[in-house]
A and B are shown apart, each in its own frame.
Chain A
Amino acid sequence: MAAERLRFDVAIIGGGVIGCSTAHFVKRTAPEASVAVIEPDPSYEFASTPRASGGCRVQFTRPENIAMSKFSIEFIRSFGTLMSVEGHASPDVGWIEGGYLFIVPPGSVEALAANVAVQRSMGCNVELLTPAELKAKWPSMNVDDLGAGAHSPHDGWCDPNSLLWGFRRKAVAQGVVLVKGRVQSMDCDSTAVRSVRLDNDVRVAAAHFVNAAGAWSGEVAAMAGMQLPVSPMKRYEHYFTSGSPMESLPYVKDLDRMAFRSEGQGFSGGVVDSSATRGYDFEVDHGYFERVVWPAAAHRFPPLEAAKCHRTWSGLYEECELDGNPIIGRWNNGCANLCTVAGFSGHGMMHAPAAGRAIAELIIGGRFETIDLAKFGYERVENNEPCRETGIR
């Protein structure tokens, strides 16, 4: 039997939140374009998006990240209207404007203040708080070893799964075709990817390809001969409750990569282990909460001494090994019709709207139009020029 052949203007590899956002924005920008999203598992059992924690914040130091956050947060706030599909209820992503709070020891106050200044210069509402001010706002917090905190009250979090399905449903309503299958090989010449072959023998040809395969994007890139320094890195998320009464918390983050927030009656979050072995490993270490998360959380909020972990799950970061920032752009020195939008290193859901729009601009208009993301291009990988965040990641 001959292999099935499909042809599109744009074929997006990866149907997670980044892929579906990109598909939506391409159709929004060019309704006449034919667009496919190739996804091996439309139920998203192991995909990163539904396993994400949902945080969205402007507290970054790279202007590109701040600008992406600003747009994405506005977009997520209006998501129900923007993603409405005639005949369906508007998607509700459950946006909670709980704020973010970055906390640092005395030695890092100057750096935090400098970061806040950058954010404020870009119109963000971020306030630098002294330990006493922190204590006044969140009485349960142990501030003895803290130098300052940066509070951004308009940041928050949403339900990543609803965001993904909202984008997906809208994209389908716009005419995007979902193709089930795992990309197994690419047919390339020296300047372009011509087609991709899927594990079900379907061949998809397109004028433009987008690698939005998240934790799998390094493998996908390798099929085109492109070295993409993006690895799957396991991260645990825990839902826990406090044994003693305590106030609601913003999304609290510190330099040791502890990060958690209020969730219903309890809290959700964890401690990122940057040294986690890379690989497609979803095994849950049920001792991790007790060993790593609980001591850190209880030190910062003593009422959490009696915390009880109810559930732990794992998900994959698409970790950019070069600098922890995403790679967004064309492979100009190789297959130039292959765009990469991957390596978000834990920020993919929050930047999905801006990143999807950026790729649409690049494909349809030939350049970034609203946010200049040139510094996040693949050239920095080729030139080995990391573009890192400073301070809390």
Chain B
Amino acid sequence: MPRDRNSIALGAGKPVVKILVGTASWSDKSLIDSGKFYPTDATSAEERLRYYASLFPMVEVDSSYYAIPVPQTAQLWAERTPRNFTFNVKAFRALTGHQFQAKVLPKDLQRAIGAGAENLYYKDLPAELQTALWDLFFAAVEPLRLNGKLGAIHFQFAPWVTAGGPPRKHVEHCVRMMEGRGVMAVEFRNASWWTPRNRDSTLAFERERGLVNVVVDGPQGYGTSVPAVWEVTSPQLAIVRMHGRNADTWAKKGLTTSSQRFNYDYSDAELGEIAQSVAVLARKVPVTHVVLNNNYEDQGQRNAKTLTGLLTKQQA
């Protein structure tokens, strides 16, 4: 077997475990405009993805959170990346309990929902339109799955999705809809899931359903802050997602881009600590993904590169 490019193999003995480090998105405006990552001749979407994939073994698709891509786009992603490249795909925002606008949907669904409708919520849609949204989303990721390049579907639930009541029922509903469709990763943004009283039951909830517990590294002390819970809940995959630690912007309203919220450059010392925790986590599961979501200019890519180096050195 040829060795996977850019992935880090841990330990000489068996079982083989792999750590894939990548970033959330490869085409953020701030990243492209900075001119700090892509070569000047990588001017098209294709060239950028090919370049990104020559350096990293995985990426998280974030555009799918804002609008469900057409399957042809996902097919092109699959065709433009190396054999063992992995895409995690962020679930469409309606599915994670966020509000959305009809205008991001295909015309037939817009008509069915009511063109121009804003501040829509999944729970307010009739069942057949809810199903239509899932079908549309599954059709979008199907080419990645059939090309063997789909990692996890990443559900970053809305901050108001709490550990109890109807919000919890919505999470359970998502789990049922995802049955047989792929690996489901969950990132909770409401602290109620991780209170000392609920922590164990949340982990049990994830383990029983084979969900990937997303370990979140982010600023602490806000309503939407969640602790980093370094636990493995899926038999096949662990995910660590790093949002930066910018306490000034984390909960700030009115920011126009995510790169403003996630503007943070991890220091080498911080990355060193994280690398140690990742290495420990990675020994419990065959594959671990580390996703850098600090996406101001090339911070994520630079930090991902440094982290890859630290992890490789650790294993040498």
Q: Given the complex, which residues of B lie within 8 Å of A191, measured CB to CB?
A: none
A370 to B83 alpha-carbon distance, docked (Å): 14
Evaluate contact between A81 and B83: CB separation under 8 angstroms. no
Residue numbers in B under 8 Å from A299 (CB-CB): none
| Distance in angstroms between the alpha carbons of A367 and B2 in the assembled complex | 12
Interface string of B56-86 (1 = CB under 8 A from A): 0000000000000001101100010001000
> Which B residues are in CB contact (< 8 Å) with A370?
148
- Residues of B at the A interface (CB closer than 8 Å) are 1-2, 71-72, 74-75, 79, 83, 139, 142-143, 146-148, 180
Q: Which residues of the partner chain A approach B74 to less than 8 Å between Cβ atoms?
A: 81
* In the bound complex, CA of A75 to CA of B148 (Å): 12
With a cutoff of 8 Å between Cβ atoms, the chain B residues found around residue A90 in the complex are 72
Given A30-B83, A123-B180, A366-B1, also A82-B75 (CB < 8 A): yes
A-B pairs with beta carbons under 8 Å apart, 14 shown: A28-B79, A29-B83, A74-B146, A75-B146, A78-B142, A81-B72, A81-B143, A82-B75, A82-B143, A82-B146, A84-B75, A123-B180, A364-B83, A370-B148
Complex partner residue of B71 from A29, A81, A365, A366, CB under 8 angstroms = A81
The smallest C-beta distance from B143 to any residue of chain A, in angstroms, reads 5
For the complex, give the distance between the alpha carbons of A365 and B180 in Å.
26
User: In the complex, how many angstroms separate the beta carbon of B142 from the nearest chain A beta carbon?
Assistant: 5
**B236 CB → nearest A CB, Å:** 15
A367/B71 in contact, CB under 8 A: no
Q: In the complex, A78 Cα to B142 Cα: how many Å?
A: 8
**Looking across the interface, which residue of chain B has its beta carbon closest to that of A79?**
B146
Contact A367 B1 (CB under 8 A): yes
A residues near B1, Cβ cutoff 8 Å = 365-367
**CB neighbours of B139 from chain A (8 A):** 78
Residues in A whose Cβ lies below 8 Å from that of B143: 78, 81-82
* A78 lies within 8 A of B83 (CB): no
Bound form: Cα–Cα A28–B147 in Å: 8
Measured between beta carbons, the chain B residues less than 8 angstroms from A367 are: 1
Give complex CA distance A129, B143 in Å.
34
Give A154 to B146 CA distance when docked, in angstroms: 18
Per-residue CB contact flags for chain A residues 43-77 toward chain B (1 = under 8 Å, else 0) read 00000000000000000000000000001001100
For A90, give the chain B residue with the smallest CB separation: B72
CB distance from A158 to the nearest CB of B (A): 16
Which of B71, B143, B146 has most A Cβ within 10 Å?
B146
Complex Cα distance A341/B1, Å?
21
Contact partners of A123 in chain B: CB under 8 A: 180
Closest residue of chain A to B79 (Cβ to Cβ) is A28
CA of A28 to CA of B79, assembled, Å: 7
Task: Please name the 3 residue pairs, one residue from A and one from B, whose CB atoms are nearest each other, closest first.
Answer: A81-B71, A81-B75, A78-B142
Smallest CB separation, B183 vs chain A (Å):
15
Instruction: Name, among A84, A90, A370, the residue most crowded by chain B CB atoms within 10 Å (CB to CB).
Output: A84
Q: What CA separation (Å) do A366 and B215 show in the bound complex?
A: 35
Known contacts A81-B75, A81-B143, A82-B146; 7 further A-B pairs (Cβ under 8 A): A30-B83, A74-B142, A78-B142, A82-B143, A84-B75, A123-B180, A366-B1
